[in-house]
């Protein structure tokens, strides 16, 4: 008999009780809908901002790299039957991530017909920064979670598989890193690595793997204690075969689901760093930076009303909070569905 | 018990050791030239990078460098801070009271709000109030500290003109520097009281309200969730049913019986809560122009002042490790069922 047969039988995921619990939770649905909107906005960023690309002079490198002439930008980017539409949405040139500047004025400008969300100080278009920033947010979130997961799975796996002093050493390091405030830790590591988007993402991953390693190790120890692993051992499978064929596939599922829910908090932390000034270069479409553009204008002008420049900080901060909220609503519902007792 | 406390306190240096290994280890990822930048105090020195590399043995291996660094730290020399232009220890002594004042003033409201809302959510389980509080908690959890701080500055300080930012008005700071104002603790609220200067006390308190509120909103959500689930746990237990069966009022059942036991798991939250608070304080101090340790560290990060940051990390590590020790001890005192060998 194959030891795999001793495992509890699984029904398809969409019929499982877990998914039913998730589906019936109104907060889960709200979170999912919000996220879908974010995905759509991120995907359609070139189409949404086509008028800005067409009119603002400093958007020329992006337009040129897309192989377009100035007159045809809006038409090409908004027509799903054209190839450029898909090229711009799926793999736009890097130059498109630079927010076009409609001038060099240090004073923000209120929303107008050409700039629906207004201009920040330095005349960066807010709508452009937010829509393209959504793409940056998803990119940062998924890549960082992916890298941290890879590191966490390898280190947690080694720790759980080998046990003994290796396990002890790794877990002490994990304890120390988990007890340390995350934002401060990421701040220091990104200072060590230097500023820039890639560096900040690396710093987030260097700090982020810890929780996954501990979770994966704990799960491995739990799975190792189950009957089917004993059965496999009795049949003479080698420890390596048991580990990779039986233990890992049984432990990894929950980890993957829980980790994917961290995308939101990663993006929030990255935005915090960006706000501090550690992050993407100036002018790169990134939400944290959009908020830091607003820093000098939160209180309005000295002689005017305090809310003179409301648009520079309200739009970016609300978008950022909604993004975090969507992921947390989803994550909360997922954790609830996986563990209905809590 | 005493034995346990002693053994547990011996772990603190261990934690700091591991932490310093991690940080110094990460620094090895840089080239000697990049690391030398951390020692550069003036523009002139940039031309003499090679000498700096030699002087601080930056081209040597990890062990040699770690030993050099650790020897200085053990002597109490944490280095010279480029940001504040004075020895790191001096700055810490100056700025620690400000951050402590902020943390302490936020701590009690955080616990009260978290425990109170958690209790309400648990006693109204699955009702409208519970659902609403759940959403509130998720929103609180999703709000990045810097966004919350900006909103408070813009709406309450900028829009309504209430409270204030900074620690004290400039005119008062000048007044204090020239007059006879004895600094007992470095916290202006306490010192104001001790010196009998009510104006200082009120001004300092007024300026603590907004940053503390930002911390309360961001941090208390976590406590609320723990309180809710531990309260639900207790309410489902037999002794609660017995208490109800003998005809006790709902209030007596909740506050006399279930509450005390439900509070125990909340104590474990103190560690993570402190961590979130410290992260929050860094950003909040920067936005509220509050000259504490967090603002210093944030500015050091922007200026790539590694010496300052290393000292900051070790200080935070010390605080976190001590806090976790206190939590463990408090746990034994509060819950006599737990025995430590």
Q: pLDDT confidence of A6, banded at 50, 70, 90?
A: low
Q: Do B155 and B285 fall within a single domain?
A: yes
Name the more confident of B40 and B116: B116
Tell me what pLDDT residue B14 has.
85
pLDDT at B26 over 60: yes
pLDDT at A8 over 60: no
Question: Which residue of chain B is at minimal alpha-carbon distance from A311?
Answer: B154
One domain, residues B149 and B180:
no
Q: Is the dihedral angle over the CA atoms A5, A6, A12, A13 positive or is it negative?
A: negative
CB environment A286-321: b (16+ within 10 A), e (fewer): bbbbbbbbbbebbbbeeeeebbbbbbbbbbbbebbb
- CB contacts of B125 in chain A (<8 Å) are none
Q: For position B253, which CATH number holds?
A: 1.10.3720.10
- Band of pLDDT at residue B339, cut at 50, 70 and 90: low
Q: Could you say which of B27, B142, B161 has the minimum Cβ distance to residue A328?
A: B142
Is B226 among the domain residues? yes
For chain B positions 317-336, those within 8 Å of chain A (CB to CB) are: 317, 320-321, 324
Give the residue numbers spanning the domain of B312. Answer: 89-167+207-334
Query: Is B149 inside a domain boundary?
Result: yes
Residues of A in contact with B153 (CB under 8 A): 298-299
Report the pLDDT value the prediction gives residue A301, as an integer from 0 to 100: 63
Delimit the domains of chain A by residue range: 17-338
Per-residue pLDDT of B300-333, as tens digits, reads 888 877 788 888 888 998 998 888 888 888 887 8
Q: Does the beta-carbon distance from B313 to A307 stay under 8 Å?
A: no
Interface of B with A in 240-299 (CB under 8 A): 271, 275-276, 278-280, 282-283, 286, 297-298
Same domain, residue pair B138 and B242 = yes
Asked if B161 and B215 sit in the same domain, the reply is: yes
Which CATH number is A17-338 given?
Answer: 1.10.3720.10
- Whether ipTM > 0.90 holds is no
pLDDT digits (tens, 9 = 90+) for A26-78: 888 999 999 999 999 999 998 898 888 888 888 888 888 888 887 788 888 88
Dump pLDDT digits (tens) for B54-70.
777 777 777 887 887 78
Q: pLDDT, tens digit, for every residue of A181-223?
A: 888 888 888 888 877 888 889 989 988 899 899 999 988 888 8
Same domain, B142 and B271: yes
Per-position b or e across A73-102, b if 16+ CB within 10 A of its CB:
bbebbbeeeeebbebbbeebeeebbbbbbb
Domain tally, chain B: 2
Residues B97 and B178 in one domain: no
**Cross-chain Cβ contact B283/A183 below 8 Å:** yes
Task: Look at B142 and A264 and tell me if their CB atoms are within 8 Å.
Answer: yes
Give the lowest-confidence range in A241-245, B102-106, B223-227: A241-245
Asked whether residue B58 is assigned to any structural domain, the reply reads no
Q: What's the pLDDT tens digit per position in A106-157?
A: 888 888 888 889 888 888 999 999 999 999 999 999 999 999 999 999 999 9
> Which band of pLDDT confidence, cut at 50, 70 and 90, is reported for residue B109?
very high
Q: Is B26 on the interface with A (CB under 8 A)?
A: yes
The reported pLDDT for the residue numbered A86 is 87
**Among B320, B251, B293, which Cα is nearest to B96's?**
B293
Residue B29 lies in a domain: no
Q: Residue B40 above 80 pLDDT?
A: no
CA B228 to chain centre: 24
Q: Which of B33, B103, B142 to mutate to test the interface with A (most CBs of A within 10 A)?
A: B142
Spacing of C-alpha B205 from chain mean position: 19
Instruction: Calculate the average pLDDT of chain B.
Output: 84
Phi/psi zone of residue A237: left (φ > 0), alpha (ψ -120 to 50 degrees), beta?
beta
Residues B180 and B320 in one domain: no
Three-state DSSP state, B81: strand
Do B274 and B229 reside in the same domain of the chain?
A: yes
B293 belongs to a structural domain: yes
Q: Do B150 and A294 touch (CB under 8 A)?
A: yes
Structure tokens at A29: 């649905």
Q: In terms of domains, do B151 and B256 share one?
A: yes
Q: A291 and B150 in contact by Cβ < 8 A?
A: yes
Please report the pLDDT score of residue B176 as a whole number.
80
For residue B338, how many other CB atoms are within 10 A of its CB?
Answer: 11
What pLDDT, in 10s, does the model give residues A232-253?
A: 888 888 888 888 888 888 888 8
Nearest to B283 among A27, A272, A298 (CB): A272
pLDDT attached to residue B279: 87
Across chain A, what does the average pLDDT equal? 85
Of A179, A182, A299, the CB nearest to B271: A179
Specify if B290 maps to a domain. Answer: yes
Chain A residues with beta carbon closer than 8 angstroms to that of B275: 179-182
Q: Are residues B312 and B251 in the same domain?
A: yes
Q: How far apart are CA A331 and CA A319, in angstroms?
A: 18
Identify whether residues B216 and B200 lie together within a single domain.
Answer: no
């Amino acid at each position: 008999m194959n030891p795999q047969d001793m495992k509890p039988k699984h029904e398809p995921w969409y019929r499982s009780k877990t998914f039913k619990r998730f589906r019936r939770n109104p907060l889960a649905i709200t979170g999912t809908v919000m996220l879908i909107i974010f995905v759509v906005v991120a995907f359609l960023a070139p189409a949404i901002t086509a008028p800005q690309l067409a009119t603002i002079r400093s958007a020329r490198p992006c337009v040129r790299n897309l192989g377009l002439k100035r007159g045809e930008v809006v038409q090409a980017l908004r027509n799903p039957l054209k190839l450029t539409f898909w090229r711009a949405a799926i793999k736009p040139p890097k130059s498109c991530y630079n927010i076009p500047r409609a001038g060099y004025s240090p004073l923000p400008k209120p929303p107008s017909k050409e700039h629906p969300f207004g201009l920040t100080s330095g005349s960066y278009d807010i709508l452009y920064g937010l829509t393209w920033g959504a793409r940056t947010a998803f990119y940062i979130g998924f890549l960082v979670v992916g890298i941290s997961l890879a590191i966490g799975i390898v280190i947690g796996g080694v720790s759980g598989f080998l046990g003994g002093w290796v396990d002890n050493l790794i877990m002490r390091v994990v304890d120390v890193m988990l007890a340390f405030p995350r934002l401060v830790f990421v701040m220091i590591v990104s200072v060590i690595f230097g500023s820039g988007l890639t560096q900040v993402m690396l710093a987030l991953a260097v700090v982020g793997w810890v929780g996954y390693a501990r979770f994966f190790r704990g799960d491995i120890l739990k799975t190792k204690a189950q009957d089917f692993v004993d059965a496999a051992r009795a049949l003479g499978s080698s420890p390596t075969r048991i580990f990779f064929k039986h233990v890992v596939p049984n432990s990894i599922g929950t980890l993957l689901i829980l980790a994917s829910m961290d995308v939101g908090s990663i993006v929030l932390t990255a935005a915090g760093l960006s706000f501090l000034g550690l992050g993407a270069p100036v002018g790169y479409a990134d939400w944290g930076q959009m908020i830091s553009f607003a820093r000098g204008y939160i209180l309005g002008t000295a002689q005017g009303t305090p809310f003179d420049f409301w648009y520079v900080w309200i739009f970016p901060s609300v978008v950022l909070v909604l993004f975090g909220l969507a992921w947390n609503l989803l994550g909360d519902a997922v954790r609830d569905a996986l563990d209905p007792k809590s | 018990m005493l034995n346990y406390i002693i053994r547990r306190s011996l772990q603190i240096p261990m934690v700091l050791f591991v932490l310093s290994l991690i940080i110094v280890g990460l620094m090895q990822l840089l080239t000697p030239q990049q690391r030398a930048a951390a020692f550069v105090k003036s523009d002139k020195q940039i031309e003499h990078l090679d000498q700096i590399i030699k002087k601080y043995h930056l081209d040597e291996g990890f062990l040699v460098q770690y030993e050099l660094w650790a020897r200085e730290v053990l002597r109490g020399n944490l280095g010279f801070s480029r940001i504040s232009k004075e020895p790191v220890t001096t700055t810490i002594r100056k700025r620690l009271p400000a951050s402590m004042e902020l943390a302490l003033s936020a701590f009690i409201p955080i616990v009260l709000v978290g425990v109170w809302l958690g209790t309400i959510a648990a006693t109204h389980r699955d009702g409208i109030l519970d659902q609403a509080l759940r959403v509130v908690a998720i929103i609180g959890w999703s709000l990045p500290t810097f966004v919350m701080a900006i909103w408070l500055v813009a709406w309450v300080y900028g829009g309504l003109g209430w409270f204030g930012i900074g620690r004290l008005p400039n005119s008062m700071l000048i007044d204090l520097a020239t007059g006879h104002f004895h600094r007992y603790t470095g916290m202006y609220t306490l010192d104001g009281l001790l010196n009998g200067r009510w104006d200082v006390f009120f001004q300092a308190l007024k300026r603590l309200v907004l940053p503390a509120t930002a911390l309360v909103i961001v941090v208390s959500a976590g406590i609320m969730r723990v309180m809710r689930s531990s309260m639900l746990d207790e309410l489902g237990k037999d002794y609660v049913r017995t208490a109800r069966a003998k005809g006790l009022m709902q209030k007596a059942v909740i506050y006399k019986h279930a509450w005390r036991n439900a509070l125990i798991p909340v104590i474990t939250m103190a560690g993570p809560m402190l961590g979130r608070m410290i992260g929050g304080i860094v950003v909040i101090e920067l936005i509220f122009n509050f000259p504490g340790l967090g603002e210093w560290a944030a500015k050091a990060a922007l200026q790539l002042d590694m010496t300052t940051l290393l000292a900051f990390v070790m200080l935070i590590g010390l605080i976190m490790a001590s806090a976790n020790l206190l939590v463990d001890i408090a746990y034994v005192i509060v819950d006599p069922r737990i025995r430590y060998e």
